[in-house]
Structure 1
Amino acid sequence: MAGVSRSDLLAWLNELLQLNYTKIEQCGTGGAYCQVLDSIYGDVPMTKVKMNAKHEYEFVANFKVMQNIFKAKKIDKPIPIEKLVKCKMQDNLEFLQWIKRFWDSNYGGQGYDAVARRRGAPTDTPATIAPLSNSRTGGASAGLGIGGRAGGKTPISGHRAGSAQPNEAIQALQAQIREMSTHMEGLEKERDFYFAKLRDIEILVQQQLETSELEGSQGDTLKEIQKILYSTEDGFEVPDSVAAVDEEETF
C-alpha cells in the first residue's frame, strides 16, 4: 500500500464516493472517511455527517461520528483527530492509506450508491484547507478501481497542468480568496462563541466569590478556576485596553 500514489488514492475515493476531491488534505474534514465506513457497513448516520464542512469544529463533529462507529464495530484503531482536522497532507495520507487497507479487507463487494446515502448533500470542501496544488499533483490520469485494481475512473478534476489560461488562474485565486474569507468568518464566529462561554463562567465565579462566605475546598476550587481563566501565555496577553474595560465592569 505504501507504493500507491496520492493520485491513485484520490481516484479510488472519488470513484467509490462520487466525489470531486483534488487534494488528500480535503479528507481532513472527516466526511469522506465516514462515508467509506458507510460503504462497508451501510449504517453510518450520514444525516449527522456534514460532507461540505468548512470549519474545524464541523470537522471535529464528523470525526465524533466516526469514533462512535469505531466503538460500535469494535475497530481497534486510534483516530488522531487533532492532527487530521488540521488538514495537513502527510497525516491524512497515512490515515487514508489505513482506511483503504481496512476497506479492502472488509468491503463485501455489494453495490453502493454514495449520492443516495448522503441524500444528495453538497460535498464541496473549501480549497483553503490545503496549500495550492502544484503541476505534479494537478490531476490523476489513472487510478485504482473499486476493488483496488488499476483502471478505475479518473476523478473529475481541473484542467491539466499548464493548460489554464492566465485569466483562469486569476479566477481560481479569487475563488480561493473568497473561500478564505468565509473560513476566517467561521473561525471568528467560533472564537466569539467560546469566548462568550468563558466570560459567563468568569462572571459566575466572581459573583460566587464576592457574594458568598465560601470556606474550605469549594472556595479553593473557585479560585483555581479563576486562576486558569486569568492565566496568559507569551503572545496571548490580554491587551491593556481590554483589561481596563474589565476593571470598569461591575458585577
Structure 2
Amino acid sequence: MFVDIETAPVQAEWADLSVEMQAEWTRKARLIRHTGDEQPDPAAMYGERAGIYSEFARIVCIGFGSMYNSATGWKLRLKAIAGEDEKKILQEFNNVIARIIGLQGDIRFCGHNIKEFDIPFICRRSVINNVPLPPALQLSGKKPWEVQHIDTMELWKFGDVKHYTSLSLLATILGIPSPKTDMDGSQVGEVFWKDKDLDRISKYCMNDVLTAARVYLRLKGIDNIDLQPDHADV
C-alpha cells in the first residue's frame, strides 16, 4: 500500500491552544528557533512549523493506493480519507488495513520518508486519539530491520545515512511529473483552516501517492509500467 498523509496545526492559531500547550510550544520553539533568533516568536513559529510535529498537529488527510493490472495496463487505485474529525480518519484507515489484510493476508507500506514521518505520525496521533493500532502498525520496540516499510527516500540514499531528498526533487530529476503543481505541504494548514478546502487537500495528497509509486517503480528498475491513476474506492 502506497501511503501519504497531510497534516495541519492542531489549532488554527497559537492563541487557540490551551495555556498548557502554549507553554509547551514556547519551549519547543526555543529548540527549533530560526538561526539568529534569540527569542523566537512562538505564535509566528506555530503557523510556520507546528504542522510537522505530531504533538502539535493533526492528520487532515490520509491518501493511499494499490496497484492492479487492468485490461488497459497497470493502474493505481487511489483513495483519500479527509475530514475535520481526525479520529474518524484514523479509524477508517484502520478499517481499510483490516480489509486488505483479510483479502491478501499481509500488508507492506510504501512511500516517501514514511519511516521518519508518515507512519510514526499516524501511530502517535492514533495513541493521542485513543484509536487502537492494528497489528501492522504496532511498531514500538521493534528493531530497525524488523520494520518492513519500503521508503523511497531510503532507497535513494544508497546507504547514505544523512542525505535528504524531497519527493518533488526526486521526481523532477527522474523525469516524473512533480506532485507540487497546485500546492505544497507548507500550505496545507492554511488550506485546511482558512479555505476549508478538503477536496483540494485530498487531490494533492493522492497526487503525492501516485508520484511516490512512480518513483518506487523507477528506483526498482521497473520501466515497463506506465502507471495510471484510478480514483476509486479501495
TM-score of the superposed pair, with normalisation by structure 1: 0.22
**Which has the larger Rg?**
1
Higher helix fraction (1 or 2): 1
Greater fraction of residues in strand:
2
Name which structure has the greater RCO, CA cutoff 8 Å, separation 6+.
2
